[in-house]
Structure 1
Amino acid sequence: MKDMIKTGLILMIYTLVAGLILGFIYTSTQAAIKEAELKNTIDAVKFVLTENGNLLVKEKVIKEAVLKGSKEEEKEIFKKGTSAVLTPVLNFDTERGKVYVLKGYGIGYGGKVITIASFLVNNKKIDLLSIRVIEYSQETPGLGAKISEETSQKRFYPIPYEGLKNGVKVDKDAGKSNLSPEEAKKIGVVKISDVMTGATITPRAVASTIDAMFEYLQKEVQ
């Protein structure tokens, strides 16, 4: 009987120690993941707030805004179809006017494709300044995953108000594959078929996310 109790106590101690170790590893891993996500977000926001190689807002202000926003629970605040705008909504005063930085997603081939974008709101007009796709892990390598490439992402910005109000579409859907990338942007078309051959679902997800962001700003900010 004593041997059984002793064995039971030993097993309980082993289990307790193992549980504590696993708990410590989980806590440490989660902290590292959150830290990496925060850095990724800061880098993306800095990217979309850069124009001609210069930040529109001081780096310290950006970091403070992102850090403050990271303490909020992320939730959907606007939906359009399968796309959504997420909290937090960041806004900055710049020499060019008020700039909003939004985070949102559209549904790609393998799941959510998450984008951070900056918009200039001035004189009741909204212009898309820049975007950064920060999550595309489920997209097909060599096809949809090419959305990560700078060459692909540059096709989405900048888009003026006149193009945004028409609704952003990829060139295949708009029937405008004959246009140059810059001509296409002016009318809200993303010339992407030549740099993401065979992949239409992923760029559509980014285009629909931009659409949702634009509509959100029209309804909530103006």
Structure 2
Amino acid sequence: MREIIKLGLILLIITSVAGLILGITNDITQEIIQERALEETREALVTLLPEAEEFDIIEEAELLDRRFIQEIYSGSKNGEIVGYTIKVNPQGYDGRIEMLVGISSEGTITGVKIGDHTETPGLGSKIADASYIDQFVDRGTEEEFISTLGGETGEQYIEAISGATVSSDAVVDGVNSARSLFVEELQDR
């Protein structure tokens, strides 16, 4: 009995010390992780709105309460807004998909960048491929986009990835959410 108590106390001490070390390590690295995430976001903003020199976050609650909207950035050059980058997180097949959607002040989609996601590797993960994402680039924001597998043509149709329609639909939902926010709230600012 005494041996079991002794082993239990040793195990308790070892796990307590390990937990303390992990906690300290987490506190030290958390700031570095946040700095890297901010730098990655900054790089993505520049990629999606290359003509912008400055980016300011918009923190208006009524804008952030909309479906899928996470963050909104205005991009400006010489004090004039040249576009917006909107971070959305639609529900994909296997979880939320983090995305950034760039829209010029004229109402043209300048790009879409897929961030963190848990879509099926090799199938749903194809949503991040340029061949899929580039379908949105240089399209207007007048109409909602529609995901299709039938090969329909037109400004509003986006060809879905065969076998990954849920993931494709999620990306279209995310872009439509950003598009809707732009048309209804940001376009006339």
Same fold (TM over 0.5): yes
Kindly provide the CA deviation profile for residues 19-58 of structure 1, in whole angstroms up to 9, marking residues without a partner as x. Answer: 5422211113323332332222122112111xxxxx3023
The structure with more strand, counted as a fraction of residues: 1
Q: Which residue of 1 aligns with 2:111?
A: 130
Q: Percent identity?
A: 23
- Structure 2 Cα separation of the partners of residues 75 and 142 of structure 1: 38
Please report how far the alpha carbon of residue 213 of structure 1 lies from its aligned counterpart in structure 2 after TM superposition: 1.2
User: SS of 2:27's equivalent?
Assistant: helix
Shift in alpha-carbon separation, 1:19–1:110, aligned structure 2, 3 A: closer
**In the TM superposition, what are the counterparts of 1:76-155 in structure 2 within 5 Å?**
77-80=64-67, 84-87=68-71, 89-94=72-77, 98-122=82-106, 126-136=107-117, 138-155=118-135
Change (3 A) 1:25 1:97: closer
Deviation at 1:209, TM superposition (A): 1.0
CA shift at 1:141, angstroms? 1.1
Aligned letter for 1:32? Answer: I
Give me the whole-angstrom Cα distance separating, in 1, the residues matched to 2:29 and 2:98. 23
- Map of 1:158 onto structure 2: 138
Equivalent pair of 1:75/1:86 in contact (CA under 8 Å): no
Equivalent position of 2:164 in the other structure: 199
Q: CA RMSD in A?
A: 3.0
Query: Which aligned pairs between 1:22-61 and structure 2 lie closer than 5 A?
Result: 22-49=22-49, 55-58=50-53, 61=54
Alpha-carbon distance between aligned partners in 2 of 1:39 and 1:75, rounded to the nearest angstrom: 27
Q: Is the CA contact 1:90–1:101 (under 8 Å) kept in the aligned structure 2?
A: yes
Contact 1:44 1:134 in 2 (8 A): no
Describe the superposition over 1:124-150 as per-residue Cα deviations: whole angstroms up to 9, x where unpaired. Answer: xx22221111122x1011111111222
Residue aligned with 1:214, SS: helix
4+ aligned runs moved over 3 Å, structure 1: 10-20, 94-97
1:217/1:12 Cα in 2 relative to 1: closer, same or farther (>3 Å)? Answer: same
SS in 1 for 2:104: strand
| AA of the residue aligned to 1:167 | E
CA contact 1:102–1:118 (8 Å) conserved in 2: yes
Change (3 A) 1:11 1:157: closer
Task: Give the TM-score normalised by structure 2.
Answer: 0.77
Change in Cα spacing, 1:37 to 1:99, as seen in structure 2 (3 Å) is same
Structure 1 residue 217: Cα displacement:
2.0
Which residue identity lines up with residue 91 of structure 2 in the other structure? I
**TM-score under structure 1 length normalisation:** 0.67
Equivalenced residues, count:
175
Deviation at 1:117, TM superposition (A): 1.1
> Partners in 2 of 1:117 and 1:85 — Cα distance?
11
Structure 1: gaps spanning 5 or more residues? 1-9, 50-54
